[in-house]
Amino acid sequence: MQQVNLGMIGGGTVGGGVYEAIRRNGALMASRLGVSLNIRRIAVRDLKKARAVNLPARLLTTDWHSVVADPEVNLIVELMGGTTTARQVVLAALKLGKPVVTANKALLSAHGEELFAAAQQHGTNLYYEASVAGGIPIIKVLREGLIGNRITRLFGIVNGTCNYILTRMKDEGADFAAVLADAQRLGYAETPPDLDIDGHDAAHKTGILASLAHGFWVNPRQIHTEGIRSISRQDIGFAGKLGYTIRLLGCVKVVNGIRRKKSAIGNRQSAIQVSVYPALVPNSHVLANVNGVFNAVLVRGDVVGDTLYYGRGAGQDATASAVLSDLADAALDLKCGTKNRIPPFVPHERDGAVLPMDEVVSRYYVRLTVEDRPGVFAKIAAILAKARIGISSIIQPEGHAGESVPVILMIHDAPNAAMRRALASVAMLPAVKSPPVMIRVESFE
């Protein structure tokens, strides 16, 4: 039986999970593939570091260069994280014509275009299933399963930390800070938690999916990104009364007919919205029922319609499972001598563009804290009317004259720029006692 020798860079949580998974199921994979996987070398930062998985000392080295350059190593597995050394590792392997498997979403978000070009230039391949949504095979779905579809909509719950926090806030009526502290104690959130709760992790993943689905590389700086820090127990409660659940969504949407004279993308027929933000999701929609640390991605193709992919989006085993999938593909490609059977990324939309967030049209939930006295709402309504923003419904709990009370406005479709300017004016009213909270409403149309 043919053997493929692996050089692993990184022996931490994911690296240990991959080693253990190959030890456990390597024979099963070999029987299915006709190729056996053999871990030849593992590069780590510290030989003496205690690890949850016992990696054989004979395999370990601190010199990643020697692993990449080893002529007996056929395939490099980059599992170290970060973007600086990881980029050097991947480029060095690709320049030697060696295929690379990576789980590094931050690396691909920052340097994907360069890395994919290097893979093409040197006639090899880059596999990255584990970079998005853990054990959910969403990369393979977009690259292979839906290859005959134009992707018109993609919505993803792709950060388990945020989904865990929002789920508990809804189920228990708990405050954000208390649930975040629990998430950190349980290992679901890092310290500091900024990468997750400020939306950056979800933006890395959403950008990769958008690039793959639409055939041009999405610059991470063009992805509008909001996190969940501003979501309060009040917002969760009011959303529930209105028939919604709040989820952090990665959104990729084709927007047709963009012909605005002053548009930042020029006079183009179509563009895509790529953004990450909390959104009100109708309770009747399947994504409203994705709870805890689980992830889900809904993909709409012009031929297939809506498809849904659900599972564990992070963790040692889920990520290791995705890495094993890539190892299987890479091993088969090497076995058959087809180093580039399906290219990692094919740029095919020469005219693709990301729509500026100010031009995106949405419905909105707005929470205001106002002084309960006559004439306040008339002034708010006048500001919105001047901006041509329509109100679909209002919730105002009863209060006592002079007290500060919440007012909930549900807003008809309006451009983001108009909402942003109108709420800035509303915030300046003396009767408005705190900054307005604005959350988009997703209808999945």
Active site residues: 205
- Residue whose C-alpha is closest to residue 266's, from 361, 347, 391, 355: 355
| Cβ-based neighbours of 9, under 8 Å, separated by 6 or more | 42, 43, 64, 67, 68, 76, 77, 78, 79, 80, 86, 89
Burial of 339 (0-12, 13-18, 19+ CB in 10 A): middle
> Around Cβ 82, how many Cβ atoms within 10 Å?
12
Q: Give the C-alpha separation, 69 to 76, whole Å.
A: 10
The DSSP code sequence of 153-190 is EEEEE--HHHHHHHHHHHHH---HHHHHHHHHHTTSS-
Four-CA torsion 18, 23, 24, 29, nearest 10 degrees:
80
Is there a contact between 233 and 169 (Cβ–Cβ < 8 Å)?
yes
Q: Give the C-alpha separation, 164 to 173, whole Å.
A: 13
Q: Residue 344 is which amino acid?
A: P
Q: Give the C-alpha separation, 30 to 396, whole Å.
A: 64
Is there a contact between 77 and 6 (Cβ–Cβ < 8 Å)?
yes
Burial 371-395 (b: 16+ CB within 10 A, else e): bbeeebbeebeebbeebebeeeeee
Structure tokens at 411: 């807003």
- Backbone φ and ψ for 196, nearest 5 degrees, come out as -80, -60
In angstroms, the Cα distances linking 159 to 206, 298, 393 are 10, 14, 31
DSSP code for 432: B
